[in-house]
């Protein structure tokens, strides 16, 4: 299968890429006190040198005391952290790469005693980690509004230091997704209830980011049906419900939807072979990123346990990309293992692709 479609240029507003390969965000926890180091900068630079078109950083937290799960997860606030991120931007740009931060608030996924400010309770729309598991009081409206402002400030700082856009982490059962998911959003005010109200938190974040940056600054939203709390959870059971979910987000200003699946080759709804990114593009007309075990046979949950995974052909991926089902392809573990994955694919050196090893999580290779 020709890989030409994977190595065609892509443009969306102020974002111009030389190919369709995106480095998926992967939490690494190598930033002491939340500050990215020169090792972090080198880690991202090597992926740019290896041919990756766009790098989306690991989740980096906005300015809220309970936004993070750990002291070595990077943050995107404070002069010291932003100086670290400036070094990352410079290294990637010097290697002719493009990069944007994934802005993150972990919500009720935070375990207070293991995180900074352990005396403070974690935050969620209804204080639920998952349906029926209460961990805190519901967020106040004032707290909700302050977190929206924190996302906007982080985006403005990203633009100021030269990032090529921002991604909002709205997937996998973290704070934004906890608002989306009816199972964790049991509010009875205008931030909960029907799907439109449950999406309001994200809509207001998107609008605030747009107001704090510029019309041509790319905004990416990552979302998922599944949650870390429940792999079978679904925000939308039908294409019609997915349209109801996506339309306000698209109208608010999302430029690219990053559609997270555990396995990209799985169809989203019965009666169609389209995956989640395919359906999202069909419904919104916006560009989409597909993600989920690209280049590997097993989904990524085993990776967290240090398990290895065998390489998988990308022929079907190339066929679907060429057919226009989605626009960009996010690669996670394969790129974590092998910084030159993109160049090896481009040059036909598939026999040189490295098999993913769980040991790669132990360092910034």
Residues known to be catalytic = 174
Q: How many CB atoms lie within 10 A of CB 197?
A: 17
The 3-state secondary structure of 97-118, one letter per residue: CEEEEEEECCHHHCCHHHCCCC
End-to-end CA distance of the chain: 30
Q: Mention every residue, 6+ apart, whose C-beta is less than 8 A from residue 120.
A: 65, 66, 112
Dist CA 244 CA 322 (whole Å): 28
d(CA 88, CA 255): 24
Token match 């009816």: residue? Answer: 182
E-strand spans in the chain?
Answer: 10-12, 15-17, 21-23, 54-61, 98-104, 128-130, 133-134, 166-172, 219-227, 256-260, 287-291, 328-331
**Measured between alpha carbons, how far is 173 from 234 in angstroms, rounded to an integer?**
11
CB 206 within 8 A of CB 297: no
CA-CA distance, 263 to 294, in Å (whole number)?
A: 8
- DSSP line for 235-299: S-SSHHHHHHHHHHHHHHT--EEEEE-SSTTS-SSTT----HHHHHHHHH--EEEEESSTTBSS-
What one-character-per-residue DSSP string does 2-18 give? Answer: --GGGGS-EEETTEEES
């Amino acid at each position: 299968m020709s890989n030409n479609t994977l190595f065609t240029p892509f443009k969306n507003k102020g974002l111009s890429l030389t190919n369709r390969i995106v480095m998926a965000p992967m939490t690494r926890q190598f930033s002491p006190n939340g500050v990215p180091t020169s090792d972090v900068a080198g880690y991202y630079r090597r992926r740019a040198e290896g041919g990756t078109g766009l790098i989306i950083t690991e989740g980096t937290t906005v300015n809220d005391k309970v936004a993070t799960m750990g002291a070595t997860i990077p943050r995107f606030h404070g002069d010291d952290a932003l100086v670290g991120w400036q070094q990352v931007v410079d290294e990637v740009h010097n290697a002719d790469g493009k990069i944007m931060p994934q802005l993150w608030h972990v919500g009720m996924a935070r375990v207070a005693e293991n995180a900074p400010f352990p005396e403070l309770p974690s935050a969620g729309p209804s204080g639920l980690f998952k349906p029926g598991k209460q961990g805190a009081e519901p967020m106040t409206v004032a707290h909700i509004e302050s977190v929206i402002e924190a996302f906007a400030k982080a985006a403005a700082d990203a633009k100021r230091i030269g990032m090529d856009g921002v991604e909002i982490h709205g997937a996998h059962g973290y704070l934004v997704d906890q608002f989306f998911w009816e199972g964790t959003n049991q509010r009875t005010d205008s931030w909960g209830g029907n799907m439109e109200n449950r999406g309001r938190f994200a809509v207001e974040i998107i609008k605030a980011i747009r107001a704090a940056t510029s019309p041509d600054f790319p905004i990416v939203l990552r979302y998922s049906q599944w949650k870390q709390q429940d792999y079978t959870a679904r925000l939308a059971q039908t294409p019609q419900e997915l349209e109801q979910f996506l339309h306000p987000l698209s109208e608010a200003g999302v430029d690219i939807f990053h559609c997270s699946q555990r396995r990209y080759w799985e169809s989203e709804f019965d009666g169609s072979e389209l995956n989640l990114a395919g359906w999202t593009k069909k419904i919104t007309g916006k560009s989409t990123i597909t993600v989920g075990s690209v280049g590997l046979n097993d989904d990524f949950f085993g990776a967290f346990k240090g398990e290895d995974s065998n390489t998988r052909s990308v022929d079907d991926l190339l066929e679907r990309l060429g057919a226009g089902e989605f626009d960009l392809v996010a690669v996670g573990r394969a790129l974590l293992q092998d910084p030159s994955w993109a160049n090896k694919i481009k040059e036909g050196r598939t026999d040189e692709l490295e098999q993913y090893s769980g040991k790669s999580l132990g360092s910034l290779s």
